[in-house]
Amino acid sequence: MGLLTGKMALITGGSRGIGEAIVRKYASEGASVAFTYRSSSEKADVIVAELTKAGHQVKAYQSDAANFAQAETLIKQVLEDFEKIDILINNAGITKDNLIMRMSEEQWDDVITVNLKSVFNLTKQVIRHMMRNRAGSIINMSSVVGISGNAGQSNYAASKAGIIGFTQSIAKEVGSRNIRCNAVAPGFIETDMTHGLDEKTKETFLAGIPMNRLGQAEEVANVCLFLGSDLSSYVSGQTLSVCGGLQV
């Protein structure tokens, strides 16, 4: 028996990085898993094929989390395919870094829409179902940058800080229906998102991490496992940092 046996989870952005690690962790702990991607259909197919072969129930959906209508269609389809959603993980996210002097309106809008509006889109569509079930766990992927801010990432920091306020509000709105809502704030995790950072930025980040190393996607997935499982049955409205002790 896994920690998630009998539960069904929907994870946005599950084709790479942290999302992929969550998909694999959740499947290995007994959950049936639906995950989305925006364009990595080949990667998604490989993940589904591997996990299905290992006996897990997993399905991938191409769906732009930033698009309200697509979120509505997605939730309908997932409920048709799996009949229920116990856990929603709003993980999809992007960066478009620039100093404010150079940041374009497009860079601002893209990051706010993909990172923050997506969390509204999916939560809005799933909440009625969870309220009917009188159960649910929603996990929103924030960032330590949403707590501390970061030069060159004002759009990203604003989106991730917005997620924390949203999380606290939803926890207050639906706690009485036995629906929990928490945020996870990863520090510097080794994924495609951080591979693109220049060496100077990486060194600056590393200098501030007491554990003196970058984090792995699986270490974030482990915290999502805790928040999705009944081990965290009285945890709601919180932001859990996964950052190797980084002071923010």
Residues near ligand NAP (CB under 6 A) are 12-19, 36-40, 64-66, 91-94, 114, 141, 143, 186, 188-189, 191-194
Q: Which residue number, 133 or 148, has a Cβ lying nearer to ligand NAP?
A: 148
Smallest separation, CB 110 to ligand NAP (Å):
9
Q: What residues form DSSP beta bridges with 81?
A: none
Q: Is the Cβ–Cβ distance between 188 and 206 less than 8 Å?
A: yes
Q: Which residue number, 131 or 214, has a Cβ lying nearer to ligand NAP?
A: 214
CA distances from 7 to 30, 34, 134 (A): 7, 11, 14
Smallest separation, CB 16 to ligand NAP (Å):
4
Q: Can 61 be counted among the known catalytic residues? A: no
Smallest separation, CB 135 to ligand NAP (Å):
25
User: Per the residue annotation, which of 26, 37, 156, 234 is the catalytic one?
Assistant: 156
Smallest separation, CB 118 to ligand NAP (Å):
6
Q: Which residue number, 110 or 133, has a Cβ lying nearer to ligand NAP?
A: 110
Q: Which residue number, 175 or 196, has a Cβ lying nearer to ligand NAP?
A: 196
Smallest separation, CB 165 to ligand NAP (Å):
16
CA distances from 109 to 18, 155, 160, 169 (A): 23, 8, 14, 23
Instruction: Give the Cβ contact number of residue 184 at 10 Å.
Output: 26
Q: Which residue number, 133 or 216, has a Cβ lying nearer to ligand NAP?
A: 216
Catalytic residues: 156
